[in-house]
Structure 1
Amino acid sequence: MKEHEHERDPDVLANLQHELSDLRGWIDRAVVLAYAVLAGLAVVGFTLLSEWAFEHFQRGYAAAPWLVLVWTPALTAAIVWMTRRWVPGAAGSGIPQVMAALAPGLPPAARGRLVSLRLSVGKTLLGALGLLAGLSLGREGPSVQVAAGVMHNARHWLRRGQGLNEHALLVAGGAAGIAAAFNAPLAGVVFAIEELSRKLDARNSGLIIAAIVLAGLMGVSAFGNYTYFGAIRVPGLDASALLPGLLVAVSCGVAGGVFARLLIASLTGSPDRISRWRQRRPVAFAALGGLAVAVIGLASGGATFGAGAQEVRRMLAGESDVMQLYALLKFVATWITTWCGVPGGIFAPALSIGAGIGHDIAQLTAGSASSALTPVLIAMGMAGFLAAVTQAPLTAFIIVMEMIDGRALVLTLMASAMVASLVSRLISRPLYAVLAHHLLRGAVATPAPCAPDARPPAPAAATPSVAAAAGPAPAPAASTSGPTTADTAPR
């Protein structure tokens, strides 16, 4: 009887000879890994530029706080004008763009309007300008589109029909962006599986993971092997933590579901009067939105400006001067910023909103912000709100775990993310799937140049294969809000 292939021991010499004889295959692998390095460096550059921009905003705010009432709306309007004029595909978060670009059957020209080197450069510059304006946005979601655009360019150097195809390159690039932005390679791998691909091709999984890790190493090389929010002390948890923990998870699920529903309604063109005016006058709307963000920032003493990382660190450190309305004000500021259509993400702001919810519940239930349980509830809030907004609980709890060195909280964070995600599903459709579908409808339409303040042409319907890949279709909207992108949600 013929011996089955899987029952034979591998022939080491034959396998080694086969690998060494495939010179072109090794060249393809080297190209992919070289582009992974470039993708990681692109995210590092984006990080440095973003930090420089927000640092200069903070200096200006400290010197003349009331100047933001002019500076923020003027720069917000300028960002939206430049985005619509030169890189409409860079608007919003970047994660829905990558998800849309992964749709099967998408024409190459349409894919190029969602991910490309040009969009990566535009996303980097305009995203940094958003932080220079003090808008409530993050760079982590946009890093997905930046890195995916870099990796996608590698296709020009690979053999046709061999090595990694465009789908695998985009998955590797998008996940590499998460790994490099958060210094969280495990989160990058989980994000690739849970949000982008649903599975990894067995033939290319090793190379994809190597690319993700290599891109993440670029961040480690530049900033050191740090945890984003430092390490927290985890007290012994007992039954007394059950009620506060459940309150955090459910509250984050409700708030995150409402937040996702608001973003879907705002970015896909609800038939209300404000949305119709925004469609007609997007730059003017952005100026008013920037003014609203500036007013909220002044009311919060500057706490709601930027991504919110500093406020989270202060909460985790036990500082008690975090205002009670921080979570609500940050919620509104992030929603308005996203509604304006600027290039920027919601990942970091969502973490800060969740931290604020956890901090508030800790004060209500424990009676003191310095309670030993407070850091745990803050971490649960971060994982819960992010999971509720994205409906990606695995990615959410792993990101938070890696950001706070919270391996002792694995089960706690997982439970919070799962409960919050389940509650959110009762309130809202999946944010990124809906926005990706909305983008696809515009991406497959023939592009037509239009003035920044003019109503763009309505996009054509997506092809059946594209629509199926994007997930459930959103409810019919009165009209779209911009050229291929103008409204992409941030993550």
Structure 2
Amino acid sequence: MHANVNRDEILQAIRSEMVDWRVWAGRILVMAFAALAGLTVVAFTWMTELAFGAFEQVQHRYTWWPLIWTPLCTAAIVWVTRRYVIGTAGSGIPQVMAALDSRVAPTQRGLYVSLKLSLSKMALATWGLLAGLSLGREGPSVQIAAGVMHHARRWLPDKSQVSEHGLLMAGGAAGIAAAFNTPLGGVMFAIEELSRKPEQRSSGLLMAAIVLSGLMAVSVYGNSTYFGVIRVDNLSWGLLLPGLLVSVFCGLTGGLFARLLLVSIKGQSMDRFSQWRQRRPVAFAAACGLAVSVIGLVSQGQTFGSGYAHSRAMLEGHDDPHSLYVLLKFMATWLTAWAGVPGGIFAPALSIGGALGNDVAHLTHYANAPTLMALGMAGFLAAVTQAPLTAFIIVMEMVDGHALVLSLMATTMVASGVSRLLSVPLYGAQAQIQLQRLPKADQA
């Protein structure tokens, strides 16, 4: 009798899964929007590469051109952002985290994610790279993909078992997966940064949506890693001291960067620059753009843009970085973010970390510099974001082989721990700043 009851329950469950068209319609719709989100990020990637390529061509021909072009563009971008689409300012990751906050009503999520914001983010971040500013496309990709996925809620049938929270989480993670061509990194980003309440019945569907979005990048660009192949030699105890130095240096510089960024953006200090930024944000942005252009000329063009091409060339041994590259790229990225331009810091963080690892290799005379560059990328990214597992997995998926897995894990944990001594988690604090845009009665 008991066996018959169990059998009837199983058959009933199967029948409800197979017969209810709303469940399957919801699943198909989620996967379709996941593919669309991935393709949108691919299009955004193509736009940014084309834009920065155009900037480099003009800059190589007319070295002085950024001194005029970059400040004008920075001022114009900030003016458009503040006047029409304030929700696009900054990285994009804090906006998605804010949209996931329980204090945000469904009707207010449009302040942080929407199709309008996604399209505006694509245009303004692309414009920023056309101006030569030091920003990345990965943070914006999170907001862009989340906006696309969130739009699916309009078409989901009742009882589809997919929540708005789940769509936002999957969209944000899909942005990382497609931007870096690292589906596993996108899944970990969803777990470590975006997920506060685990989805239950729809979790498998949402994980599949994240992976599908990442596969859209693979289908267009091929199954190649973000920085090419980083080959490492057989590891030995000789890596212990250089690796520890990389971890500590990344933790200190990354924590300092996060703290400086938070203090600057909050604008709570009474220094002259913060007051200027509050009173005349467009003029302040122009000054930041001018400073970025001067830094770019001092570095012989190495600090312009996201730093992706420079990092890849450095890993392949085709580029000799400026002796002050870490400091100059640090300053250019901070000034770009402080100006209020829509853009991320993932790619510049990887570039700074890779250069820091290269500096430690020269300092300690370590033979295989790419190994320390990979550790530096993971360490600095972990220190800035204080998301060590995400940083570890993203860089791990760039490495050919498993020889560095334990070293990457140790580096990200140490760097993140050191960073916590200097700064609170960057994106969580920025998300709280975003929540201040809610009507006052809703922040209680």
Alignment of 1:164-179 (within 5 A): 164-179=162-177
Residues 383, 417 of structure 1: 8 Å contact kept: yes
- Counterpart of 1:484 in structure 2 is none
Distance in 1 between residues matched to 2:387 and 2:205, nearest whole Å: 24
Alignment of 1:261-410 (within 5 A): 261-271=259-269, 272-319=271-318, 321-366=320-365, 371-372=367-368, 374-410=369-405
- Counterpart of 1:452 in structure 2 is none
User: CA offset at residue 319 of structure 1?
Assistant: 3.7
Residues 383, 400 of structure 1: 8 Å contact kept: yes
Distance in 2 between residues matched to 1:338 and 1:221, nearest whole Å: 32
User: CA offset at residue 87 of structure 1?
Assistant: 0.8
Residues 234, 403 of structure 2: 8 Å contact kept: no
Deviations 1:59-79 (A, max 9, x none): 010110101100000011111
Deviations 1:26-83 (A, max 9, x none): 0111111111111111101100000000000000101101011000000111111111
Distance in 1 between residues matched to 2:209 and 2:106, nearest whole Å: 23
Structure 2 residue runs of 5 or longer lacking an equivalent are: none
User: CA offset at residue 236 of structure 1?
Assistant: 1.4
- Counterpart of 1:229 in structure 2 is 227
Q: Tell me the TM-score normalised to structure 2 length.
A: 0.96
Distance in 2 between residues matched to 1:394 and 1:35, nearest whole Å: 27
User: CA offset at residue 269 of structure 1?
Assistant: 1.4
Taking only the aligned residue pairs, the percentage that are identical comes to 61
User: CA offset at residue 181 of structure 1?
Assistant: 0.5
Residues 248, 357 of structure 1: 8 Å contact kept: yes
Residues 140, 344 of structure 2: 8 Å contact kept: yes
Of the structure 1 ranges 217-226 and 312-321, higher mean CA displacement relative to structure 2 is found in: 312-321
Residues 193, 199 of structure 1: 8 Å contact kept: no
Residues 231, 399 of structure 2: 8 Å contact kept: no
More helix by share: 2
Matching of residue 216 in structure 1 with residue 211 in structure 2: no
User: CA offset at residue 159 of structure 1?
Assistant: 3.0
- Counterpart of 1:18 in structure 2 is 16
One-letter identity of the residue aligned with 2:292 = V
Deviations 1:149-187 (A, max 9, x none): 000011111134642111001000000000000010000
Distance in 2 between residues matched to 1:437 and 1:63, nearest whole Å: 44
Residues 71, 133 of structure 1: 8 Å contact kept: yes
SS in 2 for 1:243: helix
C-alpha spacing 1:22/1:326, structure 2 compared with 1 (3 Å) = same
User: CA offset at residue 221 of structure 1?
Assistant: 1.1
Q: Which of 134, 137, 140 is the aligned partner of 1:136?
A: 134
User: CA offset at residue 461 of structure 1?
Assistant: 7.1
Residues 27, 160 of structure 2: 8 Å contact kept: no
C-alpha spacing 1:348/1:320, structure 2 compared with 1 (3 Å) = closer
Deviations 1:213-269 (A, max 9, x none): 111111111111110111122111111110000000000000000000001001111
Distance in 1 between residues matched to 2:260 and 2:392, nearest whole Å: 23
Distance in 1 between residues matched to 2:159 and 2:268, nearest whole Å: 43
Deviations 1:182-218 (A, max 9, x none): 0100000000000001453121111101110111111
Residues 310, 319 of structure 2: 8 Å contact kept: no
Q: Which of 97, 104, 107 is the aligned partner of 2:105?
A: 107
Structure 1 residue runs of 5 or longer lacking an equivalent are: 446-459, 465-491
Distance in 2 between residues matched to 1:187 and 1:216, nearest whole Å: 10
Distance in 2 between residues matched to 1:270 and 1:363, nearest whole Å: 40
User: CA offset at residue 146 of structure 1?
Assistant: 0.1
- Counterpart of 2:61 in structure 1 is 63
Distance in 2 between residues matched to 1:4 and 1:275, nearest whole Å: 73
One-letter identity of the residue aligned with 1:96 = P
SS in 2 for 1:66: coil
Residues 101, 115 of structure 1: 8 Å contact kept: yes
User: CA offset at residue 406 of structure 1?
Assistant: 4.9
One-letter identity of the residue aligned with 2:305 = G
Residues 227, 405 of structure 1: 8 Å contact kept: no
One-letter identity of the residue aligned with 1:69 = L
- Counterpart of 2:443 in structure 1 is 463
